[in-house]
Structure 1
Amino acid sequence: MTFTRRTFMQAATATGALSAFARPALANIRWDMADEYGAQALSGKASTFFLSELEKKVGDALTITYQGGGALGYKSVDHFDAVQDGAVQAAVTLVTQLGGIDPFFNLSSLPFIASTPEEAFLLWQAAREEYAKIFEDNGMVLLWAMPNPPSGINAPRPITSVDALKDLRIRTYDVNGTETMMNAGAAPLQVAWSDLIPQLSTGGIDAVLTSADGAMQLSLWDYVSDFTEMNYAMGLFMCHVNKDEFDALPEEVQAAMLEIVPACDAYNWEIMRDSIDAAYAKMSENGMKITLDDDVPAEVFDFLKAAGAKVKEGWLAETGDRGAAVLAKFEELKATAG
């Protein structure tokens, strides 16, 4: 498994690794990294950090070109097959788009399971081995995760009553959100990131389930007036690479790539936390009203949690012992941390 391999690989010193990379035979390996989102999105910033840290360790032994904004023609839903088949060597993928491949990928977007960044990190730690196994079984290596900030509702009105959800034509980003919003009486439509603005512009949808950072990236204030903080879920992006391509790398490059994973996770959670206040400030500057969760009546949360509970039950039925074990481990980690 990826993260146990990292343990003994750390024995190589930075000096020894860098001297090894001076040999011409190790230079000029080139990869592409696909990302449906852009360089200014959190997934892009996470990718930039990863590539910068990797370059510090390996120099030009491996050059990975970040292909953001869907430059290679792939959306997140396409990444699993594209990397598995070697069409692209690496990708950063919103894994909640991969539930059709394995329902376990829907874990991070289960509504109201992890309600803080700290809990989202513990959930990632609890599930990491299972995620890594899925990728490994399909010819890939899992590296790091980038959490989305907590999802809220961008809409023409604040979501401060149950009635505000009724028949709301809201964009969702995966099956969990679609089912939850449908259970809550809304009219959800699952829409890819790249198709979101056209849907808003043409009236196909009138609300968006996404984070404040997502709202800022797309200037959603041009289309809706309100953002209601829900702390609904923090879906994960994951960086994964083709295993054959990874195994073909010099051992020193493999080791360096694995060694920087903890630093990538730490950086990614830090920028996620920082992004929340920054996005709220930008949204407010552009006239968007922010309704914090403390100002949302408890009955709204109770209603949404009841709608989401059915989704959790369905997920557990699909994932069986795997899902139950990970949620139990998550509860143990929370108890220890608390």
Structure 2
Amino acid sequence: MRPFRRRSAHAVLSLALTTGIAIAVPALLVPAAHAQPSPVVWQMATEYPATSMPGEGLSTFAQEVAARTQGALAPQPTFDAAAGFKSAQMPAAIRDGKLQAGDAFGGALGEIDPIFLLSSLPFVATTVDQAHRLADLARADYARAFARQGQHLIYITPWPPTGLWSRNAVGSLDALRALSVRAYDETSAEVMRAAGAKAQNLSFADAMPRLKDGSVNAVLSSGDGGAGRKLWDYLPHFTAIGYAMPLSFTTINLAAWQALTPAQRDAVAAAGRATEDRQWARLDTRLAENTARMRTNGVTIEDHPAPAVQQALRDAGMSAVGAWQARVGERGAALLKTYLGTEPGSSR
């Protein structure tokens, strides 16, 4: 009887499939549907706008991770410090699990480890090639410094060259000395003070109220994306001093990283590499795009700073680099020496 019953069941199922008639068949003949597990959501944040380099990096990374893990991991980026954390607060927020991952500007992390100030040292790496070479040289040191903070480095974001936004043109030393500048790390604050200006080390988010109330009349920053969009309403002059091409860093909570399966870690690492490659590639056209957008919005760009202004900044910058070398210790100083030793025409 068993062969007959088996054939009968197949015949009934075949009839149902070919005629569309709903026929009750034994449950064993129909595979049970397996519910898909809910995706693992990562809250990610940056203090910068979505259209800035860090903002676009977070969006790209989220898309890459979702695609490479078939939706099993779902990073959710937020921008403009909407999560309540500025760059200086980001490592602690990630370490403590308030966020799973996030982007932080390296210049804001100098109190955690002075190695993070390397990329924003004045007049050291001012082209894309120089900035990329310095980032690759220091990558392992950055990763170790973040590991000590309970997080894993995923990828690096470069910024376009830092310039000087100001309410009035900076065409002389007197004009430079009249500035009250938002600097983005303690090194740049020291440089601006040494050159004769007033300076405060402020996060981007904290700088905006100061611009509105007039206590800050200049900002050290790139002309990038949404960051530039927020500045040109207050500061219609941009002087391309070629100060630095600093870095931002995107990290993930170390416990969250270790909780991933090996396949998921491989996917996230690949997403990070793809995102970083995209970030560096964006710089090929970014400067021209930023310049065009700034001019469209009424910003006067001075591509050739007054020689006296540029020299004052460079002299102050050399002193600041020396102070950083003394602070960072042998390893960091050796990194800088190695970089400068491979840089054609370096006089440092």
Please indicate the TM-score interval, normalised by the length of the shorter structure: 0.7 to 0.9
Tell me the secondary structure at the aligned position of residue 121 of structure 1.
helix
1:329 partnered with 2:338: yes
Residue ranges of structure 2 left out of the alignment (5+ in a row): 1-33
- Per-residue CA shift, 1:51-103, capped at 9, x if unaligned? 11222211121111112222221111111111111221101111210111111
**CA positional deviation for 1:331:** 2.9
**Counterpart residue identity of residue 98, structure 1:** L
Please say if residues 79 and 93 of structure 1, whose CA atoms lie closer than 8 Å, have aligned partners that are also in contact.
yes
Q: Distance in 2 between matches of 1:219 and 1:167?
A: 22
Q: Distance in 1 between matches of 2:99 and 2:176?
A: 40
- Per-residue CA shift, 1:223-280, capped at 9, x if unaligned? 1221110110122110101111111011111011112333222211122342211121
Greater relative contact order (CA < 8 Å, ≥ 6 in sequence): 1
Matched pairs, number: 312
Residue 317 of structure 1, aligned match among 291, 307, 326: 326
Give the stretch that moved more between structures: 135-144 or 120-129: 135-144
* RMSD over aligned Cα atoms: 2.0
**CA positional deviation for 1:44:** 0.9
Q: Which structure 2 residues correspond to residues 194-213 of structure 1 after superposition, within 5 A?
A: 194-213=205-224
Q: Which residue of 2 aligns with 1:190?
A: 201
Please say if residues 122 and 333 of structure 1, whose CA atoms lie closer than 8 Å, have aligned partners that are also in contact.
no
Structure 1 residues 221 and 67 mapped into 2: Cα distance closer, same or farther (>3 Å)? closer
Tell me the secondary structure at the aligned position of residue 222 of structure 1.
coil
Q: Distance in 1 between matches of 2:250 and 2:333?
A: 25
Q: Which residue of 2 aligns with 1:118?
A: 129
Tell me the secondary structure at the aligned position of residue 60 of structure 1.
coil
Tell me the TM-score normalized by structure 2.
Answer: 0.84
Structure 1 residues 144 and 24 mapped into 2: Cα distance closer, same or farther (>3 Å)? farther
Q: Percent identity?
A: 33
**CA positional deviation for 1:215:** 7.4
1:62 partnered with 2:73: yes
**CA positional deviation for 1:214:** 5.7
**Counterpart residue identity of residue 44, structure 1:** G
**CA positional deviation for 1:332:** 4.8
Residue 317 of structure 2, aligned match among 304, 308, 316: 308
**CA positional deviation for 1:156:** 2.5
Q: Which residue of 1 aligns with 2:101?
A: 90
Q: Which residue of 2 aligns with 1:154?
A: 165
Q: Distance in 2 between matches of 1:82 and 1:24?
A: 33
1:226 partnered with 2:237: yes
- Per-residue CA shift, 1:169-196, capped at 9, x if unaligned? 1111110110000000001122221122
- Per-residue CA shift, 1:92-134, capped at 9, x if unaligned? 1112101111111111111101011111111101110100011
Q: Distance in 2 between matches of 1:196 and 1:49?
A: 27
Residue 251 of structure 2, aligned match among 240, 247, 259: 240
**CA positional deviation for 1:283:** 1.5
Please say if residues 216 and 279 of structure 1, whose CA atoms lie closer than 8 Å, have aligned partners that are also in contact.
no
**Counterpart residue identity of residue 257, structure 1:** V
Please say if residues 42 and 272 of structure 1, whose CA atoms lie closer than 8 Å, have aligned partners that are also in contact.
no
Give the stretch that moved more between structures: 159-168 or 123-132: 159-168
Q: Distance in 2 between matches of 1:50 and 1:254?
A: 14
Tell me the secondary structure at the aligned position of residue 260 of structure 1.
helix
Please say if residues 57 and 256 of structure 1, whose CA atoms lie closer than 8 Å, have aligned partners that are also in contact.
yes
Structure 1 residues 215 and 232 mapped into 2: Cα distance closer, same or farther (>3 Å)? farther
Q: Which structure 2 residues correspond to residues 21-32 of structure 1 after superposition, within 5 A?
A: 28-32=39-43
Please say if residues 216 and 283 of structure 1, whose CA atoms lie closer than 8 Å, have aligned partners that are also in contact.
no
Please say if residues 93 and 239 of structure 1, whose CA atoms lie closer than 8 Å, have aligned partners that are also in contact.
yes
Residue ranges of structure 1 left out of the alignment (5+ in a row): 1-22
Tell me the secondary structure at the aligned position of residue 188 of structure 1.
strand
Q: Distance in 2 between matches of 1:216 and 1:152?
A: 13
Q: Distance in 2 between matches of 1:236 and 1:216?
A: 15
Residue 115 of structure 2, aligned match among 96, 99, 104: 104
Higher helix proportion (structure 1 or 2) = 1
Q: Which residue of 1 aligns with 2:182?
A: 171
Tell me the secondary structure at the aligned position of residue 77 of structure 2.
strand
Q: Distance in 2 between matches of 1:87 and 1:156?
A: 38
Tell me the TM-score normalized by structure 1.
Answer: 0.87
Please say if residues 108 and 203 of structure 2, whose CA atoms lie closer than 8 Å, have aligned partners that are also in contact.
no
Q: Distance in 1 between matches of 2:95 and 2:152?
A: 10
Q: Which structure 2 residues correspond to residues 16-55 of structure 1 after superposition, within 5 A?
A: 28-55=39-66
Q: Which structure 2 residues correspond to residues 276-291 of structure 1 after superposition, within 5 A?
A: 276-291=287-302
**Counterpart residue identity of residue 42, structure 2:** W
Structure 1 residues 233 and 24 mapped into 2: Cα distance closer, same or farther (>3 Å)? farther
